[in-house]
Each structure stands twice: as structure tokens, then as C-alpha cells.
Amino acid sequence: MKKFMWINGLVAVALVLIDQTFKNYISSNLPLGHVREIIPGLISITNLRNDGAAWSILEGNQSLFLIITLVALGALGYILFLKRDSWSFNVGIWLMIAGTIGNFIDRLRLHYVVDMFQLDFINFPIFNIADMCLTFGVIVLFIAIIRDDSE
């Protein structure tokens, strides 16, 4: 099982690198606020600076987000240690760690998070790859908790 933990960790590192590379590409090649349709009526790419959470909630509170992130990473590490023998828990936690670190790097380096994916068919927050990692991580963890029949 430790082999899978290392593989999940490497995948998490790769996801953080992909997230940061894509954010850098968007920031360098798409003017701030510009929208470019990818699939008409479905998804567009934009360059947005978000100094809050989803829907720009609590915008401008970078110190709060940095503290919350450090607490979240500590909690995720602790859960990972407790459930290190569960493949599904590992996948969910590592995805959440990757997403948390991806946005944490932005907050430390830029004092905002670069968001770029815009769903054109629904009023939904513009998001990035780190946000996708967090969302899928929560879904996987939720399924793992439902399926966990130990204790």
C-alpha cells in the first residue's frame, strides 16, 4: 500500500506543476478579463484574478486564507497518516493536497489566485485546475467515507 501512497504523492506533485504551468500560460498570453470561447455555449477560457474564495467571497483577506490553508494542509496530512492503508482515502486526500498547494502558491506569490475556466451555461464561479483537484478530491473522499466499513 505504501507504493500507492508514493504514486499518489507524485501525481499530486504533477498536478501542482500542471496547475502552475497553466496559470502562468494564461496570465502571460490572455489579457486580464478577456474571454475566449473554447466550446461555444459550454466553456470559455478567461484570465481572472481572484483574491477571495468561490464567488469572490471574503475577497482581500489573504492572511485569513493563508492561515486556513496551513490548517487545512495539517489536517489533510493527519488524515492521510491515519488512513494510509486505504487507497481511495489516499487518492482523495492527495487530490485535495494538490489543489490546496496549487492555490496556496498563488496566494503566496501573487496575493491572488489565477482562475480561468468559465462555464457558459450556468452561473458558476470561474475556476482553475487546483479547484478541480479540490472538488474531485472531496468527491473521492466522500465516496471513500460512504464505502468505508471499518470502525
Query: Is the Cβ–Cβ distance between 80 and 9 less than 8 Å?
Result: no
Confidence (pTM): 0.86
Query: pLDDT 10s digit of each residue in the chain, 151 long?
Result: 556 667 878 899 999 999 999 999 999 999 999 999 999 999 999 999 988 666 566 666 677 778 888 899 899 888 888 766 778 888 999 999 999 999 999 999 998 999 999 999 998 889 999 999 999 999 999 998 888 755 4
- The cell numbers describing 111, all together, are 496575493
- 22's enclosing H/E stretch is helix 2-29
What's the rounded Cα separation, in Å, for the pair 145 and 82? 13
Domain ranges (residues) in the chain = 2-147
Neighbouring CB atoms inside 10 A of 15's CB total 21
Active-site annotation, residues: 115, 131
